[in-house]
Structure 1
Amino acid sequence: MKTTSTTKTFYAIAATATLVTMALPAQADTWRGWNIHPPGYPNTVALEAFAKNVTERTEGRITAQVYNNGVLGDQPDAIEQTRSGVLNFANFNMGPMGPIVPETNVLSLPFIFSSVEHMHEVMDGEIGQQFAEALAEKNLVALSWFDSGERSLYNTKRPIHTPEDVQGLKIRVMNNDLYVDMIEALGGNATPMAYGEVYQSLKTGVLDGAENNYPSFQSSNHYEAAEYYSLTEHLIIPECLCIARASWEALSAEDQEIVREEAIKASAMQRELWVEGSEASRQVVLDAGVQVNEVEDKAAFQQLMGPVYAGFIEANPDLESLVNAIRNSN
């Protein structure tokens, strides 16, 4: 998988965030970073490297620490804490960002990206800068984009080969109406639920299934409860390494440069680790006896998304050009 050169674009993204106000003189500060993932997860390793390198390169002007496993709250809470400056930095998935930054809902449209490489090219370019500008308006400075692979459906009942196989299944989704619409378009029953509640809900039958990527399916132990993993690859959602705007603007120009550079390095590290981690996680779940199946006719799933796109554009006419720009960029 190729890694797109991102330096120029990310410099432009960060510069956009600094137009609002001049940076203040740097002071010794302790930065707390939010992360939903466990130790050893690709995102965690990259975030911890970011924190370590920022601490070392600023010679203690910033002392950054990552708090893993969502111990500082679920993502919706962490987004608000970062926007208000209570938390200083975070790795956020763009899925639950929609209620705060409506533009990011475009990234949650099913099959909006044709591949992970396509997503990288979009987010590392001018279109990605538009999303960064929208985040900056909500007090989140996106300095680099992380990977989260392809999300696929898994469940306790049966392999999914066609949309008909989804009918009647109770599927957990992230808290975003687009995901509810997506599952309902396939005939399933969408259930928004906190990530930490999914394992027990699968075990007890409250849920029949959920959707996620290989590393999350494995690290959450959901594979112990759901024996069918079907490669629908319906969502490819980028994530950001975001800095609280108040924290960013409090930095000197020198320290902004350091933080920016380390965020870009963290992105490159995360993407490389993601490829390795995905393959390792895939092997773990296969060895555990999970039945993994390819979906030969993804077009059948894509065709059912027409009403989802139509409803989204009707509700967000100002975002139609952004949707078209992504779809035409491949």
Structure 2
Amino acid sequence: MTTPGKQLRIALETCELPHPQFLAHFKPLRQCIEDAMDGAASRVEQLVGPSRAGKSMLIEKLKRDYPETKVNGRRQVPVLVVELETPVSPRLLPSCVLAALGLPVPENARMGALNARMQKQLDLAGTRVVLFDEVNHLVERGTRVLPPEAGDWFKVLADKQRRTLVLSGTPLVERMVQQHTQLRMRASAPRRLMPYDSRVPDQLQAFHACVATYANLFKEAGFPIALPASALTYQCYLLSGGLIGVLSKFMRELVRHMAYETPRALTFADCQAAVRTIEVSGSPRFPAFERPEVVMTDTAPAALHQAFVQVMHDNDIPVPLIPERVGGIQ
């Protein structure tokens, strides 16, 4: 039986937030794909940022815009998404590509044979662009692929096979590219998808707009969130440190608790229950949804900033210098 809660869950799962950070990278990457499909020279793009910043969401959107088709009965996959598994080995690189194409991986095949099979299958599928997600696995502790070896593999895929690549992952991706001179010289400047900084008025307002979009979906389904709009945004920021992926996860968990309930207003206690089921990203000094009054005090800007700092430190990313203006929600 389809309940209002289930309908809301589907609406949340299919909701795409065209927020500024998303669009700033989506539009140029989409243009790169268009260029590649028009026969332009191959490119190597880097999409980096903390976990849950929205990189995978962006990649999935690009994939949906260029779906698999059939031309004269032949399967065509113009844009292929490949998620690298862990731990990564040299053999696993072409194996992941074959698996992403839905093809079996020959057992005990040598690296050269796997690469040749991969190239042939990509040609047959008409694949012009390969989006690699979680590339940071190549340089994490425990990998069996040396950064120069990985760089060589990507360089050949881009140059000799004339495919445009998007290398997505944490900032470790930048380090891998930097360690390979030839790949670095071929790669575009990193596109950084970062959490929204609460100190920057436009960024805090953009985060607020994302929260409001989700809150409106709840309201339309008969489950209004009974918190003032600014208070909900501040609590969500404490929870996520500005990461849209964490915000999205919280909203999906909030509706999961309502899946079989009749429509009603959601309370602060409902939000607390949802928070207990997810991994938060903010500062432990200022836990989200602990006290409803904490966010509207004079200490609110400092608390929000601490959540942002925690995310940056957890991902080994330098915190930007403090902007001249301090933001608030309009």
Instruction: With the length of structure 2 as denominator, give the TM-score of the two structures.
Output: 0.29
Which one has a larger percent strand, Structure 1 or Structure 2? 1
Q: Which has the larger radius of gyration?
A: 2
Higher relative contact order (CA 8 A, sep 6+): 1
